[in-house]
Structure 1
Amino acid sequence: MGRGKIEIKRIENSTNRQVTFSKRRNGILKKAREISVLCDAEVGVVIFSSAGKLYDFCSPKTSLSKILEKYQTNSGKILWDEKHKSLSAEIDRIKKENDTMQIELRHLKGEDLNSLQPKELIMIEEALDNGLTNLNEKLVINLLNQLISMWLML
């Protein structure tokens, strides 16, 4: 016995709609995996539920961004412009800068020093000495200001 045809329209009952969504979503993702493996195709699937939850699949040998770039190139449709590309590059640059600063901070705390060369250690020592000198100067200035304030109160 075959399956009956259904009319393609929105399912009004929310429970039935959610069950149908889950089953069909799983079916689409399964088919995407199968075509990726069987045919060595690059496949990317992105599904958003009505609640805004993301479900996705991407072939193991590629990434969704590479698939979207291919789509943009082959279809001629512009998905993002140069401004977005430059923002992405700027984000990558800032992430690298942040990583570098985290490493420098660990070094200033005295952590992860074994991998450093003597020249780098000397630079860290000088930076710490300068910081200590500045700290001592500010401390003396604050103490003098407090003494002056106390003296003026007398």
Structure 2
Amino acid sequence: MARGKIQIKRIENDTNRQVTYSKRRSGLFKKAKELTILCDAKVSIIMISNTNKLHEFISPNITTKQVYDAYQTTFSPDLWTSHYAKMEQELRNLNEVNRQIRKEIRRRMGCCLEDMSYQELVFLQQDMENAVTNLSERKYKVLSNQIETGKKKLRNVQGIRQNLMQAYDALREDPHCGLVYNGGEYDHVMRSHLVGLHFPREAHIPSAGGSCLTTYTYLE
């Protein structure tokens, strides 16, 4: 049964249009590959979908640039001059923008003011005053953050100092505070040296009565 003739017009359904594009692109590339093999032809195909996706086929024995060069040699069209002219114009525009930016920087440093009008000088002064205001606000904000950080560190140090003082007071109330057990008797030491005491794992507890807290000889 013969297929009906398809009317050539734009496919309105997005999904059907994308499917048709994909199938026909594959068929076109297949035919181009067959022409390359059967006829030793040099084929280059560039396709851009409605979603701006680029698809390209090029014969294995040639590059895209060689195809363009061959086309230009055969028909002598001007393919590159307009492109180079556009690139040169873009370069000139970028150079002009760069020159204006450098000029604005020099003006803000107090240079190149001779060709400025009174109104331009007023606007420049206002811009610089606004910049100074923003810098001052940022400076004070950074400074306040540093002060707040310093206060937090100070509170932490004060908390540690308070804990140490409480531990010292509790230690001072112990009856054996300032004594070191030395072979059956206690020797006096300075309270500030108690932090240097060494406590062995298996301590020998004397038979004498009193507190179970026993302090041992120095490590140093």
TM-score (norm 1): 0.52
1:17 counterpart residue number: 17
Q: Tell me: CA distance 1:77–1:30, structure 2 relative to 1, closer, same or farther (3 Å).
A: same
Q: Could you give the per-residue CA deviations for residues 22-72 of structure 1, whole angstroms, max 9, x where no partner exists?
A: 000101111111101111000000001111111101111110110011112
Which one has the largest radius of gyration? 2
Alignment of 1:5-154 (within 5 A): 5-81=5-81, 84=84
Deviation at 1:80, TM superposition (A): 1.4
**Secondary structure, in 3 states, of the residue corresponding to 1:26?**
helix
Give the whole-Å Cα distance in 2 for the aligned partners of 1:19 and 1:83. 34
**Higher relative contact order, structure no. (Cα contacts within 8 Å, ≥ 6 residues apart):** 1
After TM superposition, which residue ranges in structure 1, 4 or more long, deviate above 4 angstroms? none
* Per-residue CA distance 1:3-38 (angstroms, 9 max, x = gap): 211111100000110000000010111111110111
RMSD of aligned residue pairs (Cα, Å): 2.0
Number of residue pairs aligned between Structure 1 and Structure 2: 86
Structure 1 residue matching 2:18: 3-state secondary structure: helix
Greater helix share, structure number: 1
- Matched AA of 1:47: M
Q: Indicate the percent of aligned positions where both proteins have the same amino acid.
A: 49
TM-score, L = length of structure 2: 0.37
CA distance, structure 1, for counterparts of residue 80 and residue 2 of structure 2: 45
Q: Which runs of 5+ in 1 are unaligned?
A: 88-154
